[in-house]
Protein backbone atom coordinates (compact mmCIF):
# COMPACT_ATOMS: atom_id res chain seq x y z
CA UNK A 1 0.00 0.00 0.00
CA UNK A 2 2.83 2.39 0.87
CA UNK A 3 4.47 1.68 -2.49
CA UNK A 4 1.25 2.37 -4.32
CA UNK A 5 0.74 5.66 -2.54
CA UNK A 6 4.31 6.72 -3.36
CA UNK A 7 3.81 5.98 -7.01
CA UNK A 8 0.65 8.06 -7.00
CA UNK A 9 2.67 11.20 -6.43
CA UNK A 10 3.47 12.83 -9.72
CA UNK A 11 6.40 15.06 -10.47
CA UNK A 12 4.65 18.26 -9.58
CA UNK A 13 4.11 17.23 -5.93
CA UNK A 14 7.46 15.55 -5.27
CA UNK A 15 9.28 18.85 -4.92
CA UNK A 16 6.67 20.11 -2.49
CA UNK A 17 6.91 16.94 -0.40
CA UNK A 18 10.71 17.23 -0.22
CA UNK A 19 10.46 20.90 0.94
CA UNK A 20 7.94 20.04 3.64
CA UNK A 21 10.13 17.19 4.86
CA UNK A 22 13.16 19.44 5.18
CA UNK A 23 11.13 22.03 7.08
CA UNK A 24 9.82 19.43 9.51
CA UNK A 25 13.33 18.09 10.06
CA UNK A 26 14.60 21.57 10.92
CA UNK A 27 11.78 22.10 13.39
CA UNK A 28 12.02 18.67 14.93
CA UNK A 29 13.87 19.82 18.05
CA UNK A 30 11.48 22.67 18.87
CA UNK A 31 8.46 20.49 18.08
CA UNK A 32 9.57 17.79 20.50
CA UNK A 33 10.20 20.39 23.22
CA UNK A 34 6.73 21.81 22.73
CA UNK A 35 5.27 18.34 22.91
CA UNK A 36 7.03 17.69 26.22
CA UNK A 37 5.66 20.92 27.68
CA UNK A 38 2.17 20.15 26.43
CA UNK A 39 2.30 16.66 27.94
CA UNK A 40 3.08 18.16 31.35
CA UNK A 41 -0.22 20.07 31.35
CA UNK A 42 -3.16 18.06 32.61
CA UNK A 43 -5.93 17.85 30.01
CA UNK A 44 -8.87 20.12 30.77
CA UNK A 45 -6.95 22.12 33.39
CA UNK A 46 -5.54 25.59 32.88
CA UNK A 47 -3.65 27.92 35.18
CA UNK A 48 -4.90 31.08 33.50
CA UNK A 49 -7.37 32.91 35.72
CA UNK A 50 -10.31 34.73 34.16
CA UNK A 51 -9.85 38.48 33.88
CA UNK A 52 -12.83 40.70 34.53
CA UNK A 53 -11.03 44.01 34.06
CA UNK A 54 -8.82 45.50 31.38
CA UNK A 55 -5.45 44.02 32.34
CA UNK A 56 -2.25 42.80 30.75
CA UNK A 57 -2.90 39.38 29.17
CA UNK A 58 -1.06 36.55 30.95
CA UNK A 59 1.79 34.58 29.46
CA UNK A 60 1.35 31.21 27.79
CA UNK A 61 -0.09 28.60 30.17
CA UNK A 62 2.86 26.32 29.36
CA UNK A 63 5.21 28.57 31.36
CA UNK A 64 6.63 26.53 34.25
CA UNK A 65 6.38 29.52 36.60
CA UNK A 66 2.60 29.38 36.36
CA UNK A 67 2.75 26.06 38.20
CA UNK A 68 2.82 28.06 41.44
CA UNK A 69 -0.88 28.68 40.85
CA UNK A 70 -2.08 25.29 39.74
CA UNK A 71 0.29 22.51 40.75
CA UNK A 72 1.94 23.39 44.08
CA UNK A 73 5.58 24.30 43.54
CA UNK A 74 5.89 24.75 47.32
CA UNK A 75 4.35 22.00 49.43
CA UNK A 76 2.53 22.84 52.65
CA UNK A 77 4.36 22.23 55.95
CA UNK A 78 2.15 20.97 58.79
CA UNK A 79 3.89 23.12 61.43
CA UNK A 80 3.96 26.43 59.53
CA UNK A 81 1.15 28.66 58.34
CA UNK A 82 -1.78 26.44 59.31
CA UNK A 83 -3.60 25.18 62.43
CA UNK A 84 -2.38 22.03 64.17
CA UNK A 85 -4.31 19.47 66.18
CA UNK A 86 -3.67 19.44 69.92
CA UNK A 87 -1.69 22.71 70.02
CA UNK A 88 -2.87 25.43 72.42
CA UNK A 89 -0.95 28.41 71.09
CA UNK A 90 -0.97 31.01 68.36
CA UNK A 91 0.52 30.09 65.00
CA UNK A 92 4.23 30.88 64.46
CA UNK A 93 4.35 34.51 63.34
CA UNK A 94 6.35 35.61 60.29
CA UNK A 95 5.81 39.38 60.51
CA UNK A 96 7.21 41.95 62.92
CA UNK A 97 3.77 42.91 64.22
CA UNK A 98 2.85 39.25 64.59
CA UNK A 99 5.91 38.45 66.70
CA UNK A 100 5.27 41.44 68.95
CA UNK A 101 1.56 40.59 69.27
CA UNK A 102 2.33 36.97 70.16
CA UNK A 103 4.81 38.10 72.83
CA UNK A 104 2.25 40.58 74.14
CA UNK A 105 -0.40 37.86 74.35
CA UNK A 106 1.79 35.13 75.85
CA UNK A 107 3.99 37.36 78.00
CA UNK A 108 1.56 39.97 79.37
CA UNK A 109 -2.11 39.32 78.67
CA UNK A 110 -2.28 35.59 79.40
CA UNK A 111 -0.31 35.75 82.70
CA UNK A 112 -2.30 38.81 83.77
CA UNK A 113 -5.61 37.11 83.02
CA UNK A 114 -4.46 34.03 84.93
CA UNK A 115 -3.42 36.05 87.99
CA UNK A 116 -6.62 38.09 88.09
CA UNK A 117 -8.79 34.99 87.67
CA UNK A 118 -6.89 33.11 90.38
CA UNK A 119 -7.09 36.09 92.75
CA UNK A 120 -10.86 36.45 92.27
CA UNK A 121 -11.35 32.70 92.76
CA UNK A 122 -9.33 32.70 96.01
CA UNK A 123 -11.20 35.79 97.20
CA UNK A 124 -14.56 34.10 96.60
CA UNK A 125 -13.44 30.96 98.44
CA UNK A 126 -12.19 33.04 101.38
CA UNK A 127 -15.48 34.99 101.55
CA UNK A 128 -17.55 31.78 101.48
CA UNK A 129 -15.51 30.15 104.24
CA UNK A 130 -14.91 33.20 106.41
CA UNK A 131 -18.33 34.81 106.31
CA UNK A 132 -20.63 31.81 106.26
CA UNK A 133 -23.28 31.68 108.97
CA UNK A 134 -21.57 28.97 111.03
CA UNK A 135 -18.27 30.88 111.24
CA UNK A 136 -19.78 34.37 111.49
CA UNK A 137 -23.15 34.25 113.28
CA UNK A 138 -23.20 38.00 113.95
CA UNK A 139 -22.49 39.81 110.65
CA UNK A 140 -20.64 43.11 110.62
CA UNK A 141 -22.62 46.30 109.94
CA UNK A 142 -19.69 47.99 108.14
CA UNK A 143 -20.91 49.67 104.94
CA UNK A 144 -17.73 51.48 103.78
CA UNK A 145 -14.00 50.81 103.95
CA UNK A 146 -11.91 53.61 102.48
CA UNK A 147 -8.72 51.62 101.95
CA UNK A 148 -10.47 48.74 100.17
CA UNK A 149 -12.47 51.09 97.95
CA UNK A 150 -9.32 52.98 96.92
CA UNK A 151 -7.54 49.69 96.13
CA UNK A 152 -10.32 48.23 93.99
CA UNK A 153 -10.58 51.52 92.09
CA UNK A 154 -6.89 52.14 91.45
CA UNK A 155 -5.83 48.56 90.75
CA UNK A 156 -7.96 48.13 87.60
CA UNK A 157 -6.87 51.57 86.38
CA UNK A 158 -3.19 50.66 86.74
CA UNK A 159 -3.74 47.32 85.02
CA UNK A 160 -5.52 48.96 82.08
CA UNK A 161 -2.76 51.58 81.73
CA UNK A 162 -0.14 48.83 81.69
CA UNK A 163 -2.05 47.05 78.94
CA UNK A 164 -2.84 50.22 76.97
CA UNK A 165 0.77 51.26 76.35
CA UNK A 166 1.79 48.23 74.20
CA UNK A 167 -1.74 47.88 72.80
CA UNK A 168 -1.77 51.38 71.30
CA UNK A 169 1.71 50.85 69.87
CA UNK A 170 0.64 47.59 68.24
CA UNK A 171 -2.53 49.16 66.85
CA UNK A 172 -0.54 52.03 65.38
CA UNK A 173 1.98 49.65 63.79
CA UNK A 174 -0.78 47.59 62.19
CA UNK A 175 -2.12 50.59 60.27
CA UNK A 176 1.20 52.21 59.44
CA UNK A 177 1.24 53.32 55.78
CA UNK A 178 3.38 51.25 53.46
CA UNK A 179 6.70 52.85 52.41
CA UNK A 180 7.77 53.61 48.85
CA UNK A 181 8.56 50.52 46.84
CA UNK A 182 5.91 48.37 48.49
CA UNK A 183 4.08 45.71 46.50
CA UNK A 184 0.35 46.49 46.28
CA UNK A 185 -2.07 43.58 46.57
CA UNK A 186 -5.77 44.32 46.13
CA UNK A 187 -8.03 41.61 47.56
CA UNK A 188 -11.66 41.67 46.42
CA UNK A 189 -14.23 39.55 48.23
CA UNK A 190 -16.98 37.81 46.29
CA UNK A 191 -19.67 35.30 47.20
CA UNK A 192 -17.81 33.02 47.71
CA UNK A 193 -14.27 33.35 46.40
CA UNK A 194 -11.43 35.88 46.29
CA UNK A 195 -10.15 37.95 43.39
CA UNK A 196 -6.66 39.48 43.53
CA UNK A 197 -5.13 42.30 41.51
CA UNK A 198 -1.53 43.56 41.33
CA UNK A 199 -1.90 47.25 40.37
CA UNK A 200 1.85 47.97 40.56
CA UNK A 201 2.73 45.04 38.31
CA UNK A 202 0.63 45.61 35.22
CA UNK A 203 -2.78 45.12 36.77
CA UNK A 204 -3.11 41.39 36.08
CA UNK A 205 -5.69 39.49 38.08
CA UNK A 206 -6.10 36.01 39.56
CA UNK A 207 -9.13 34.31 41.07
CA UNK A 208 -8.91 31.84 43.96
CA UNK A 209 -11.49 29.16 44.75
CA UNK A 210 -11.42 26.41 47.35
CA UNK A 211 -10.13 23.04 46.18
CA UNK A 212 -12.65 20.27 46.69
CA UNK A 213 -11.93 16.79 47.99
CA UNK A 214 -11.35 13.83 45.69
CA UNK A 215 -14.81 12.38 46.30
CA UNK A 216 -16.49 15.73 45.52
CA UNK A 217 -15.23 16.29 41.97
CA UNK A 218 -16.10 14.81 38.61
CA UNK A 219 -13.84 13.76 35.78
CA UNK A 220 -11.41 16.40 34.60
CA UNK A 221 -11.58 18.53 37.76
CA UNK A 222 -8.64 19.08 40.02
CA UNK A 223 -8.99 18.01 43.65
CA UNK A 224 -7.02 18.76 46.81
CA UNK A 225 -3.89 16.82 47.69
CA UNK A 226 -1.70 16.90 50.80
CA UNK A 227 0.76 19.18 49.02
CA UNK A 228 -1.97 21.75 48.34
CA UNK A 229 -2.71 22.29 52.03
CA UNK A 230 -5.26 21.36 54.68
CA UNK A 231 -8.87 20.54 53.96
CA UNK A 232 -11.07 23.64 53.44
CA UNK A 233 -7.94 25.86 53.35
CA UNK A 234 -6.32 24.86 50.04
CA UNK A 235 -6.99 27.14 47.06
CA UNK A 236 -6.57 26.48 43.36
CA UNK A 237 -4.72 29.76 42.81
CA UNK A 238 -2.26 30.99 45.41
CA UNK A 239 -1.36 34.59 46.15
CA UNK A 240 2.36 34.99 45.49
CA UNK A 241 4.18 37.68 47.50
CA UNK A 242 7.88 38.51 47.98
CA UNK A 243 9.73 37.97 51.24
CA UNK A 244 11.39 40.97 52.92
CA UNK A 245 9.46 43.52 50.83
CA UNK A 246 6.69 45.68 52.36
CA UNK A 247 3.24 44.63 51.21
CA UNK A 248 0.44 47.17 50.81
CA UNK A 249 -2.82 45.28 51.26
CA UNK A 250 -6.05 46.89 50.02
CA UNK A 251 -9.38 45.15 50.54
CA UNK A 252 -12.84 45.76 49.14
CA UNK A 253 -15.88 43.71 48.18
CA UNK A 254 -18.27 43.29 45.28
CA UNK A 255 -21.30 42.16 47.28
CA UNK A 256 -21.31 41.80 51.09
CA UNK A 257 -18.81 42.33 53.90
CA UNK A 258 -15.94 39.85 53.87
CA UNK A 259 -12.73 39.78 55.91
CA UNK A 260 -9.22 38.90 54.68
CA UNK A 261 -7.62 37.08 57.61
CA UNK A 262 -4.16 35.47 57.76
CA UNK A 263 -3.24 34.25 61.29
CA UNK A 264 0.49 33.80 60.58
CA UNK A 265 0.72 37.48 59.50
CA UNK A 266 -1.40 38.74 62.43
CA UNK A 267 -3.67 40.12 59.75
CA UNK A 268 -7.42 40.62 59.61
CA UNK A 269 -8.81 43.37 57.39
CA UNK A 270 -12.48 43.74 56.48
CA UNK A 271 -13.49 43.91 52.82
CA UNK A 272 -16.48 46.26 52.60
CA UNK A 273 -18.47 47.12 49.46
CA UNK A 274 -17.83 50.67 48.24
CA UNK A 275 -14.89 51.14 50.61
CA UNK A 276 -11.12 50.61 50.44
CA UNK A 277 -9.38 49.45 53.62
CA UNK A 278 -5.61 49.47 53.73
CA UNK A 279 -2.81 48.08 55.88
CA UNK A 280 0.77 46.94 55.40
CA UNK A 281 3.02 44.10 56.52
CA UNK A 282 6.31 42.44 55.63
CA UNK A 283 6.72 38.66 55.40
CA UNK A 284 10.00 37.56 56.99
CA UNK A 285 10.14 33.87 56.07
CA UNK A 286 9.43 31.99 52.83
CA UNK A 287 6.66 29.44 53.06
CA UNK A 288 3.06 28.59 52.39
CA UNK A 289 0.49 30.24 54.65
CA UNK A 290 -3.25 29.71 54.94
CA UNK A 291 -6.17 31.85 56.08
CA UNK A 292 -9.84 32.31 55.29
CA UNK A 293 -12.69 34.79 55.31
CA UNK A 294 -13.44 35.75 58.93
CA UNK A 295 -16.71 37.59 58.45
CA UNK A 296 -20.09 35.88 58.09
CA UNK A 297 -20.82 36.51 54.43
CA UNK A 298 -23.45 33.97 53.45
CA UNK A 299 -24.19 30.29 53.08
CA UNK A 300 -20.71 29.33 51.82
CA UNK A 301 -18.77 31.57 54.16
CA UNK A 302 -16.52 28.72 55.44
CA UNK A 303 -15.42 27.91 51.87
CA UNK A 304 -13.40 31.07 51.10
CA UNK A 305 -9.81 30.03 51.82
CA UNK A 306 -6.71 32.18 51.38
CA UNK A 307 -3.39 30.64 50.33
CA UNK A 308 -0.28 32.85 50.25
CA UNK A 309 3.02 31.61 48.86
CA UNK A 310 5.91 33.76 50.11
CA UNK A 311 8.94 33.52 47.82
CA UNK A 312 12.26 35.41 47.38
CA UNK A 313 11.98 38.70 45.42
CA UNK A 314 13.73 37.27 42.35
CA UNK A 315 11.25 34.40 42.17
CA UNK A 316 8.37 36.83 42.64
CA UNK A 317 9.63 38.95 39.74
CA UNK A 318 9.84 35.86 37.54
CA UNK A 319 6.28 34.89 38.50
CA UNK A 320 5.03 38.39 37.67
CA UNK A 321 6.66 38.25 34.23
CA UNK A 322 5.19 34.79 33.64
CA UNK A 323 1.77 36.27 34.40
CA UNK A 324 2.33 38.95 31.78
CA UNK A 325 3.00 41.67 34.37
CA UNK A 326 5.85 44.11 34.85
CA UNK A 327 8.14 45.07 37.71
CA UNK A 328 8.40 48.79 38.68
CA UNK A 329 11.70 50.52 39.29
CA UNK A 330 13.34 49.72 42.62
CA UNK A 331 12.22 52.05 45.42
CA UNK A 332 9.73 53.84 43.22
CA UNK A 333 6.50 54.90 44.93
CA UNK A 334 3.31 53.47 43.52
CA UNK A 335 1.53 55.92 41.21
CA UNK A 336 -1.36 53.62 40.39
CA UNK A 337 -4.88 54.85 41.08
CA UNK A 338 -6.71 52.22 43.11
CA UNK A 339 -10.37 52.44 42.02
CA UNK A 340 -13.08 52.12 44.61
CA UNK A 341 -16.06 50.07 43.43
CA UNK A 342 -19.33 51.88 43.91
CA UNK A 343 -17.76 55.23 44.73
CA UNK A 344 -19.86 58.38 44.55
CA UNK A 345 -17.75 59.77 41.70
CA UNK A 346 -19.16 58.16 38.59
CA UNK A 347 -16.34 59.16 36.26
CA UNK A 348 -14.10 56.77 34.37
CA UNK A 349 -11.15 57.37 36.71
CA UNK A 350 -12.91 56.23 39.84
CA UNK A 351 -14.23 53.09 38.13
CA UNK A 352 -11.21 52.19 36.02
CA UNK A 353 -10.19 48.61 36.61
CA UNK A 354 -13.12 48.00 38.94
CA UNK A 355 -14.74 44.57 39.02
CA UNK A 356 -17.96 46.10 40.29
CA UNK A 357 -20.74 44.87 38.00
CA UNK A 358 -21.16 47.26 35.12
CA UNK A 359 -18.41 49.55 36.43
CA UNK A 360 -21.06 51.94 37.73
CA UNK A 361 -21.67 53.63 41.02
CA UNK A 362 -23.54 52.48 44.06
CA UNK A 363 -27.30 52.93 44.04
CA UNK A 364 -28.87 54.21 47.23
CA UNK A 365 -32.47 53.20 47.94
CA UNK A 366 -32.68 51.85 44.40
CA UNK A 367 -34.75 49.04 43.00
CA UNK A 368 -32.19 47.61 40.61
CA UNK A 369 -32.15 43.85 40.20
CA UNK A 370 -28.96 42.28 41.52
CA UNK A 371 -26.71 40.93 38.75
CA UNK A 372 -26.46 37.17 38.32
CA UNK A 373 -22.95 35.84 39.02
CA UNK A 374 -21.59 32.38 38.40
CA UNK A 375 -20.15 31.22 41.70
CA UNK A 376 -16.91 29.39 41.07
CA UNK A 377 -16.64 28.11 44.61
CA UNK A 378 -19.96 26.29 44.43
CA UNK A 379 -19.94 25.29 40.77
CA UNK A 380 -16.32 24.42 39.88
CA UNK A 381 -17.37 22.94 36.51
CA UNK A 382 -15.11 20.60 34.60
CA UNK A 383 -12.98 22.14 31.89
CA UNK A 384 -13.25 25.67 33.28
CA UNK A 385 -9.74 25.59 34.69
CA UNK A 386 -8.31 25.89 38.17
CA UNK A 387 -9.61 29.40 38.57
CA UNK A 388 -13.26 28.46 38.33
CA UNK A 389 -15.40 31.37 37.17
Interval 269-322: pLDDT, tens: 999 998 999 999 999 999 899 999 999 988 889 999 999 999 998 888 888 888
Q: Which CATH superfamily is domain 183-359+373-379 in?
A: Cupredoxins -  blue copper proteins (2.60.40.420)
Confidence of residue 176 (pLDDT cuts 50, 70, 90): confident
Go through 207-228 and write b for each residue having 16 or more CB atoms within 10 A of its CB, e for each that does not.
Answer: bbbbbbeeeeeeeebbebeeeb
Instruction: Write the CA distances from 50 to 54, 90, 94, 343, 389, integer angstroms.
Output: 11, 36, 31, 24, 7
CA distance 304 to 289: 14
Complete DSSP assignment for 135-151: T-SS-------HHHHHH
Q: What percent of the chain is modeled with pLDDT above 70?
A: 66
Q: Can you tell me the distance from the alpha carbon of 71 to that of 74, in angstroms, rounded to the nearest whole number?
A: 9
For 113-169, the pLDDT digits (tens) are 999 999 999 999 999 998 888 888 888 887 888 898 999 999 999 999 989 988 998
* Burial readout 57-66 (b: 16 or more C-beta within 10 A, e: otherwise): ebbebebebb
Q: Any idea where the domains of the chain sit in the sequence?
A: 96-135+146-174, 183-359+373-379
Is the per-residue pLDDT at 88 higher than 90?
A: no
What pLDDT score does 68 carry?
A: 56
Angle, in degrees to the nearest 10, between helices 11-26 and 28-40: 60
52-66, 97-111, 189-203, 215-229, range with the lowest pLDDT: 52-66
Residue 126 to residue 256: CA distance in whole angstroms: 52
188-241 tens-digit pLDDT: 999 889 999 999 888 889 999 998 888 888 877 888 888 888 889 988 888 999
| pTM of the model as a whole | 0.66
Amino acid sequence: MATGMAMAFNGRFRGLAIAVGLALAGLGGSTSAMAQQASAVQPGVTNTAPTTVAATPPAAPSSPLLAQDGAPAMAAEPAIGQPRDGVMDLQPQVTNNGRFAKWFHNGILFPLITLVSAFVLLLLIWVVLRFRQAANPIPSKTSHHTVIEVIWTLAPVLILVMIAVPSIGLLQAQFKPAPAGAVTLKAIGNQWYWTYQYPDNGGFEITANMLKEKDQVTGGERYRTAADGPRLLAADNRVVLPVGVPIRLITTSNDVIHSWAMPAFWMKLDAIPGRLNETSFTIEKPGLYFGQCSELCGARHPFMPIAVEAVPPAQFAAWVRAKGGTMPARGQASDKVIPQPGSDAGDATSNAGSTYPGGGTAVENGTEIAPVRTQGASGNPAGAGNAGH
